[in-house]
């Protein structure tokens, strides 16, 4: 039993170290890009931003609106019974901007783009496209991994902020229609409840979740060796591990805030 | 500086499955066209992978264009890697790019200073010579095996390498296309010094055109020399790999 726990612990740390190394290498490639291949790498980055960020806008809009509507409906009907009807703004700031916004956005990105990246890189490994790039003197880290990671982190950050704004707007729609709270009162309540910490938290989580998901998905995609059956296996692992890492990161940054 | 393009210096490398080893001590001079032939599991692909720096030998050294692969970083701008064109059994065309963009990629990545128009002209002239012009906008999944392989060869030659390594370049090609491809490589060699090492499964015009044949059998060099020498040296069961089919049949009779 102790041996099993020890082995699993070592494997867990080794895995985290490998992810950190992949992320560090991507950061290095971003900060110190060589002269060659800049245009091509930039093209890959733009494609990734379009796919992860722009193409995800419709689904993000729908989910954010629905989440905002649900939260304000619940808060707007429950809080007045406790004599805390004025806390609707506070509730939406704490639940959406601080917590659910970044987390739900991360889950959308994992489901759409994370799985796509793991599958794409896995297939590239099987069809030896990755080897072919290496043989052409094209660094896989610089041409394949870095633009996908940077694209995903930037997209995640922007989508998180967008999600927060749309969810608050969704909340306002309910506040206006069902609770008859006018726009200026609702907006004032949200602005009063919003602090710099909330904004920093949402930005930090957007960046952290984006980095974690990108590193995990690239790692598992490149872990595919020679068989197509490995591709779905690694993709599933990538998605599960992305969810777990996002929640772990969330705990690490949220809990100290309340200690 | 050595005039050999590839030196396999007492190389020993385990073959896939690990039950046998490729062992060779071979020197391929610059500008030579070498065809490596032999039955399956003889170690031909491993020989190409060793020469391409994809596999590190268990012992011995592989020196390519004067440099030991172990000392060559993959992605340096002036790396020897850019002087070696490689096409493996799986052509490895990028599936999210058209054939045209696949062939253009090495130029775009490594020769960014060349104007777009000139680069496009260079790619189109290669596609034309390989009979691929009409397929320029097709994605790799829409190409047959032979078309993809020709595309990969065009891509491997875009940076004008000094050494071309081909693993089974004629698989999936019809007889006419094999002759065209042989002529294409020959024309490249006429224009500039190009060393070619091609691993082949069967006799083909590619074998006929080679300056030198290396016959591999169970990981060892069974015969090495010009075609005429090798035909005499090689054991009877391996003769069909170095001789035209009808000639070898006649000899066996």
A36–B152: do the CB atoms touch at under 8 Å? Answer: no
Query: B67-68 and B84-87 as β-strands: parallel, antiparallel, unpaired?
Result: unpaired
B90–A139: do the CB atoms touch at under 8 Å? Answer: no
Distance CA A25, CA A18 (A): 11
* Mean predicted confidence (pLDDT) in B12-41: 89
* Mean predicted confidence (pLDDT) in A67-75: 90
Give how many domains chain B has, as a whole number.
1
B112–A135: do the CB atoms touch at under 8 Å? Answer: no
How far is CA B236 from each of CA B37, B207, B208, B215, B249, rounded to the nearest angstrom? 14, 18, 18, 12, 11
Considering the domain boundaries, does residue B115 fall inside one? no
A143–B52: do the CB atoms touch at under 8 Å? Answer: no
Cα dihedral across residues B43, B47, B52, B56: positive or negative: positive
Interface of A with B (CB under 8 A): 34-40, 120, 123-124, 127-129, 131-139, 142-143
Distance CA A226, CA A229 (A): 9
pLDDT attached to residue B253: 47
What is the radius of gyration, based on Cα positions, of chain B? Answer: 18
Mean predicted lDDT score pLDDT of chain B: 88
Residue in B18, B25, B14 with CA at minimum distance from that of residue B61: B25
Each residue's pLDDT tens digit, A224-251: 988 999 999 999 999 999 999 999 999 9
Each residue's pLDDT tens digit, B172-229: 788 888 888 899 898 888 888 899 999 998 888 888 889 999 999 888 998 888 888 8
Angle, alpha carbons A96-A98-A101 (nearest 5°): 45
How many CB pairs below 8 A link A and B?
73
Considering the domain boundaries, does residue B44 fall inside one? yes
Q: Give the one of A38, A123, A136 whose C-beta lies nearest to B106's C-beta.
A: A136
For B101-217, list the strands marked E by DSSP.
163-167, 195-200, 212-217
B94–A139: do the CB atoms touch at under 8 Å? Answer: no
B155–A127: do the CB atoms touch at under 8 Å? Answer: no
Distance CA A41, CA A47 (A): 10
Domain at B83, CATH number: 3.40.50.300
pLDDT attached to residue B172: 78
Considering the domain boundaries, does residue B131 fall inside one? no
Each residue's pLDDT tens digit, A184-199: 888 888 888 888 998 9
**Chain A closest-CA separation from residue B231 CA (Å):** 34
Q: Which domain holds residue B33?
A: 4-91+160-252
How far is CA A202 from each of CA A80, A95, A105, A169, A197, rounded to the nearest angstrom? 28, 11, 11, 17, 9
Of all residues in chain B, the one with the smallest CA distance to A134 is B74
Considering the domain boundaries, does residue B133 fall inside one? no
Of all residues in chain B, the one with the smallest CA distance to A125 is B92
Q: What's the CA dihedral at B215, B218, B220, B222 to 10 degrees?
A: -40
Considering the domain boundaries, does residue B15 fall inside one? yes
* Mean predicted confidence (pLDDT) in A107-113: 95
Residues of B in contact with A39 (CB under 8 A): 108, 112
Which of A28, A135, A139, A228 is best to mutate for the B interface (most B CBs within 10 A)? A135
- pTM assigned to the model: 0.88
Residue in B1, B33, B26, B2 with CA at minimum distance from that of residue B12: B26
Each residue's pLDDT tens digit, B49-99: 999 999 999 999 999 998 888 887 766 656 788 999 999 999 999 999 999
Considering the domain boundaries, does residue B128 fall inside one? no
Each residue's pLDDT tens digit, B94-120: 999 999 999 999 999 998 889 999 999
B92–A135: do the CB atoms touch at under 8 Å? Answer: yes
B86–A135: do the CB atoms touch at under 8 Å? Answer: yes
Cβ neighbors of B240 (< 8 A, separation 6 or more) are B202, B203, B248
A39–B108: do the CB atoms touch at under 8 Å? Answer: yes
Considering the domain boundaries, does residue B56 fall inside one? yes
Considering the domain boundaries, does residue B80 fall inside one? yes
How far is CA A64 from each of CA A83, A159, A161, A168, A208, rounded to the nearest angstrom? 27, 10, 11, 8, 20
Q: Give the one of A127, A132, A137 whose C-beta lies nearest to B75's C-beta.
A: A137
**Chain A closest-CA separation from residue B243 CA (Å):** 32
A128–B155: do the CB atoms touch at under 8 Å? Answer: no
Residue in B161, B251, B219, B189 with CA at minimum distance from that of residue B31: B189
Distance CA A56, CA A156 (A): 10
Query: B67-68 and B59-64 as β-strands: parallel, antiparallel, unpaired?
Result: antiparallel
């Amino acid at each position: 039993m102790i041996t099993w726990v020890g082995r699993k612990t070592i494997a867990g740390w080794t895995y985290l170290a490998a992810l950190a190394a992949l992320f560090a290498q991507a950061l290095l490639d971003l900060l110190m890009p060589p002269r060659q291949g800049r245009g091509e790498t930039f093209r890959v980055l733009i494609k990734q931003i379009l796919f992860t960020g722009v193409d995800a806008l419709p689904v993000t809009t729908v989910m954010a609106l629905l989440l905002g509507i649900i939260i304000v409906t619940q808060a707007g009907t429950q809080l007045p019974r406790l004599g805390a009807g004025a806390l609707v703004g506070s509730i939406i700031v704490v639940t959406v901007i601080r917590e659910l916004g970044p987390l739900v956005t991360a889950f959308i990105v994992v489901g759409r783009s994370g799985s796509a990246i793991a599958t794409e890189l896995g297939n590239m490994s099987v069809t030896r496209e990755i080897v072919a790039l290496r043989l052409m003197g094209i660094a896989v880290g610089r041409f394949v991994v870095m633009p996908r990671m940077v694209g995903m982190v930037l997209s995640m950050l922007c989508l998180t902020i967008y999600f927060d704004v749309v969810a608050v707007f969704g909340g306002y729609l309910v506040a206006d229609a069902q609770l008859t709270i006018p726009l200026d009162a609702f907006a004032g309540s949200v602005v009063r409840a919003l602090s710099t910490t909330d904004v920093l938290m949402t930005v930090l989580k957007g960046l952290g979740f984006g980095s974690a998901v990108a590193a995990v998905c690239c790692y598992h995609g490149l872990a595919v060796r020679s068989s197509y059956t490995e591709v779905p296996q690694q993709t599933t692992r990538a998605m599960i591990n992305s969810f777990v890492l996002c929640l772990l990161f969330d705990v690490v940054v949220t809990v100290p805030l309340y200690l | 500086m050595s005039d050999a393009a590839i030196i396999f210096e007492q190389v020993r490398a385990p073959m896939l499955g690990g039950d046998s080893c490729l062992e060779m001590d071979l020197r391929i001079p610059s500008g030579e066209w070498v065809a490596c032939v032999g039955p399956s599991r003889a170690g031909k692909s491993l020989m190409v992978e060793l020469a391409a720096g994809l596999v590190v030998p268990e012992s011995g050294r592989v020196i390519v264009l004067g440099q030991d692969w172990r000392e060559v970083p993959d992605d340096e701008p002036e790396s020897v890697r850019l002087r070696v064109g490689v096409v493996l059994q799986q052509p490895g065309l990028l599936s999210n790019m058209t054939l045209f963009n696949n062939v253009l990629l090495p130029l775009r990545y490594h020769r960014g200073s060349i104007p777009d128009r000139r680069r496009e002209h260079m790619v189109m002239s290669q596609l034309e010579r390989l009979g691929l012009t009409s397929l320029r906008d097709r994605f790799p999944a829409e190409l047959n095996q032979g078309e993809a392989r020709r595309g990969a060869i065009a891509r491997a030659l875009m940076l004008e390498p000094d050494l071309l390594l081909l693993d089974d370049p004629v698989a999936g090609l019809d007889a006419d296309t094999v002759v065209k491809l042989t002529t294409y490589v020959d024309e490249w060699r006429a224009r500039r010094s190009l060393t070619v090492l091609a691993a082949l499964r069967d006799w083909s015009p590619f074998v006929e055109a080679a300056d030198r044949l290396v016959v591999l059998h169970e990981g060892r060099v069974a015969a090495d020399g010009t075609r005429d020498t090798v035909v005499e040296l090689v054991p009877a069961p391996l003769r069909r790999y170095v001789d035209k089919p009808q000639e070898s049949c006649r000899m066996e009779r």
